[in-house]
Amino acid sequence: MLLFHPPSIMAWFRTLTRMSATAKSWPPPLLPSPLRTVPTAPVASASLLLTSLRNFSTGTAASPAVEDRPPPHLSQSPTHCGDLGPTEGGEKPRVVVLGSGWAGCRLMKGIDTSIYDVVCVSPRNHMVFTPLLASTCVGTLEFRSVAEPVGRIQPAISREPGSYFFLSNCKGIDAKNHRVICETVTDGPNTPDPWKFNISYDKLVIALGAEALTFGIHGVKEHAIFLREVHHAQEIRRRLLLNLMLSDVPGTTEQEKSRLLHCVVVGGGPTGVEFSGELSDFIMRDVRQRHAHVKDYIRVTLIEANEILSSFDDRLRRYATRQLTKSGVHLVRGIVKDVEPDKIVLDNGTEVPYGLLVWSTGVGPSSLVKSLDLPKAPGGR
């Protein structure tokens, strides 16, 4: 720490004042940049000092050069025409991996990067450990605990000159010319417009994963929340805490409070059962202690068309049913016909109001996989 005595401060201030007065009477030289100096003129150095101080000033005045310069517009992105061309002689073969899920990351982790260059294309730069994703919705785990960066799974992507990760969506595959058509991910306000580019490959791995099935039911995509990505868990956590806060505000009717605190899960598969269990545990352990005013209103309903965990052993199904019922989860057998902003309608006409709706009814092939003219399994994968 530097300590300045008052006499030293006053002497410095008087010197700066004299320099300022002299600089006002001196015609300022043409300075192409704030770093230009004129060693033969001490007064010019004072003028330069004041000019530099103005450049770093927090006031409203600005230099003419700054005023005349038009502000940048991120929406007016330059034309992008660069592609990742084919490999040439002497270069390692290029393996392009589409997707950063379980299959794609497992392959990238085990690939020999001394033989191949690896290029990963995915709209997310991490892998999600989906079995623990439900725990992040209620705070049992933090979000970063279930996400692993792709660059840590395969370090060559960050280190090797021929290996890359591109935050992009795959828009098509030209199998004849060994090219992948990609489009950058630039969502959000004040971001550049997305642009397309091509990646040539020697070997291609299609690991695009699957998409949640909605069975064409009206309102699902608009009002329900899926549980497949980290941002889905973040939205569920935000909505759950928001409803807890809103239900305690004076003036909220009993009917509205009951609706806000009704959490409905559609789908009795592994994800739906796991999330229902985590949610009921959160209610029993945390809500009853920290939100005592509304502890008697919050509840969980699990809706399934058949039996929960239908693909598992019968003993496991019975055990899961007992545990969910014991923890307060209400099991309903029915088929959802319509989803509205504040309620769902079942096939028997029953209306179920909700404050949080989580949709987990299985997955199917992605839209890109459906569009590919390649051999597929009977289910379209």
CB 260, CB 213: distance < 8 Å: no
Instruction: DSSP for 302-337, please give it.
Output: EEESS-TTTTS-HHHHHHHHHHHHHTTEEEEE--EE
Q: Comparing 77-81, 176-180, 272-276, 365-369, which segment has the lowest mean pLDDT?
A: 77-81
Beta bridge partners of 196: 183
Beta bridge partners of 300: 263, 329
- For the stretch 156-212, pLDDT in tens is 999 999 999 999 999 999 999 999 999 999 877 888 899 999 999 999 999 999 999
Q: What count of residues does the chain have?
A: 381
pLDDT above 70: percentage of residues in the chain:
79
β 147-149/126-128 pair status: antiparallel
CB 96, CB 203: distance < 8 Å: yes
Beta bridge partners of 117: 94
Distance of CA 253 to the CA centre of its chain: 35
Distances (CA, A) of 236 to 11, 46, 342, 367: 63, 60, 16, 25
Which tokens belong to 193?
């417009």
- Separation CA 147–CA 224 (nearest Å): 23
- For the stretch 274-316, pLDDT in tens is 999 999 999 998 998 888 888 889 999 999 999 999 999 999 9
Scored b (16 or more CB within 10 A) or e, 30-60 reads: ebeeeeeeeeeeeebebbbebbeeeeeeeee
Instruction: Say how many C-beta atoms besides its own lie within 10 A of residue 16's C-beta.
Output: 14
Confidence at 224, pLDDT banded by 50, 70, 90: very high
CB 220, CB 339: distance < 8 Å: yes
Q: Helices marked H in the chain — which ranges?
A: 6-25, 42-55, 64-68, 102-110, 133-137, 150-153, 156-159, 220-223, 230-246, 254-260, 270-282, 288-290, 314-326, 367-371
Confidence at 77, pLDDT banded by 50, 70, 90: very low
| Ramachandran quadrant class, 67 (left: phi over 0; alpha: psi -120 to 50; beta: rest) | alpha
- HSE-CB of 289 using CA atoms within 13 angstroms: 5
DSSP helix/strand/coil, 13: helix
Residue 294 pLDDT: 87
251 has a pLDDT exceeding 90: yes
- For the stretch 85-109, pLDDT in tens is 999 989 999 999 999 999 999 999 9
Which tokens belong to 246?
């809103």
